[in-house]
Amino acid sequence: MSNEMNRRDALRFAGLAAGAFLVGGSAGNASGAEAGVGGVWKYAVVDPQKVADTAYENYKVGRCMYTTFYGIVYNVGLELEKTDPIAAAPILQFPFYMMKYGTGGANDWGTLCGSLNGAMAAISLFVADSNKRKALCDEIANYYEQTMFPIYKPANDDFGPMPQTISGSLLCHVSSGKWSSLAMKRTDSPERTERCTRMSADVARKTAELLNLNIGTPAALEAAPVVTFKRQEPSATCYDCHGKGKKNSDVIAKMSCNECHDQAVDHHEAK
Ligand code: HEC
Ligand code: HEC
């Protein structure tokens, strides 16, 4: 089984390399400034509901990062196949299995939530303009940090209403920990798995919406990023002194600081 998988993956990868070369010149993009070898991959508008359903159904194959990335990218491939099979080929042959490492916040280390890792990877695959790429990665991170999850409801709901939590953090450890603690469920329970399955579908859907809006049409491709979420106070203010390139510039963190620190915004002035 596993040998067979490896051989199939290897064949796909060979196809991918050839396909990427073909697509290079034809991939449309506003600036193309950041496009690496082979150029940025072509995008096609996808149905966010279909993306969410695909992500929900494939969680069991490779977990959070895999399924979020797969839900988005595979559906882009299917859409492109209708109009531009040459551009679709490398996308459909993508070695999706590589995204399996993201489970449990990177191989169960509890760091960056895999659904976000997958979402940012998908954004980076299709968005060549670096300002837009960064704005969309921030948007999906803020969405994750501030939204009550899970939202997605599968057609066959074996679990009934699920407890929802706002993570306040991008960390798998914090996000799953807060939910498990509220729901009073073990990490190895079917309910915790279901929560992360549904949340992956939510993140995949949001990412698809963002991509449709921001690179779905030639006009959108040229336009400034369309984003709605703001970073939460007080971390924006903490960042004004401590952040990269700011007065103190001693931390790398857009995270909500007060998840871990109890300083007040004016803590330095008060001293
Ligand atoms: C007006 C600028 C400013 C703001 C705003 C600010 N800090 Fe600081 N902070 C400092 C300075 C200066 C120090 C001392 C030098 C250092 O460690 O960076 C400090 C130190 C710290 C330290 C080290 C321990 C300590 O208390 O000295 C932590 C942790 C910290 N800040 C967290 C925060 C958090 C969290 C926020 C937002 C709620 C925040 N800071 C907002 C200027 C600021
Ligand atoms: C997930 C938990 C977490 C989050 C979120 C977090 N920090 Fe920290 N931070 C830490 C830890 C742990 C240390 C190391 C503390 C130590 O050495 O005692 C640290 C260190 C620091 C220090 C240096 C402290 C010192 O003694 O020199 C500053 C300043 C700081 N953080 C500011 C921030 C700011 C500003 C934010 C938000 C943008 C933030 N942190 C978000 C966990 C966190």
Nearest 10 degrees: CA dihedral of 241, 242, 245, 246? 10
Q: Which residue has the higher pLDDT, 35 or 96?
A: 96
Instruction: Name the one residue in this structure whose structure tokens are 């590589």.
Output: 98
Question: Is the backbone peptide bond immediately before 95 cis, with ω within 30 degrees of 0?
Answer: no
Question: Is the backbone peptide bond immediately before 90 cis, with ω within 30 degrees of 0?
Answer: no
pLDDT digits (tens, 9 = 90+) for 153-202: 999 999 988 999 999 999 999 999 999 999 999 999 999 999 999 999 99
What distance in Å separates the CA atoms of residue 142 and residue 48, rounded to the nearest whole number?
19
Instruction: Name the one residue in this structure whose structure tokens are 């064949």.
Output: 11
Ligand 2 atom closest to residue 238's alpha carbon, by position in its atom list: 35
What is the distance in A from the centroid of ligand 1 to the CA of 242?
7
Instruction: Please report which confidence band the pLDDT of residue 19 belongs to, taking 50, 70 and 90 as the band edges.
Output: very low
Q: Using a 6 Å cutoff on CB, does residue 242 contact ligand 2?
A: yes
Are 31 and 222 in contact by the 8 Å Cβ rule? The answer is no
Q: Does position 24 have pLDDT exceeding 60, yes or no?
A: no
Q: Which residues have C-beta within 8 Å of that of residue 124, sequence separation ≥ 6?
A: 133, 137
Give residue 234's pLDDT: 78
Q: Which residues have C-beta within 8 Å of that of residue 199, sequence separation ≥ 6?
A: 64, 115, 149, 150, 152
pLDDT digits (tens, 9 = 90+) for 102-155: 999 999 999 999 999 999 999 999 998 999 999 999 999 999 999 999 999 999
Ligand 2 atom closest to residue 169's alpha carbon, by position in its atom list: 5
Please report, in angstroms and rounded to a whole number, the separation of the first and last CA atoms in the chain: 64
Q: Does position 82 have pLDDT exceeding 50, yes or no?
A: yes
What tokens does 224 get? 């400034």
Q: Which residue has the higher pLDDT, 37 or 176?
A: 176
What tokens does 74 get? 């595979």
Ligand 1 atom closest to residue 264's alpha carbon, by position in its atom list: 38
Give residue 248's pLDDT: 92
What is the distance in A from the centroid of ligand 2 to the CA of 261?
7
What's the mean pLDDT when you consider all of the chain?
A: 87
pLDDT digits (tens, 9 = 90+) for 224-257: 999 999 888 777 889 889 998 999 999 988 888 9
Q: Does position 68 have pLDDT exceeding 90, yes or no?
A: yes
Question: In 3D, which of 53, 143, 65 has the Cα closest to residue 99?
Answer: 65
Q: Using a 6 Å cutoff on CB, does residue 174 contact ligand 2?
A: no
What tokens does 26 get? 């034809």
Are 87 and 80 in contact by the 8 Å Cβ rule? The answer is yes
Instruction: Please report which confidence band the pLDDT of residue 40 belongs to, taking 50, 70 and 90 as the band edges.
Output: confident
What distance in Å separates the CA atoms of residue 249 and residue 246, rounded to the nearest whole number?
5
Give residue 194's pLDDT: 98
Mean pLDDT score, 266-270: 77
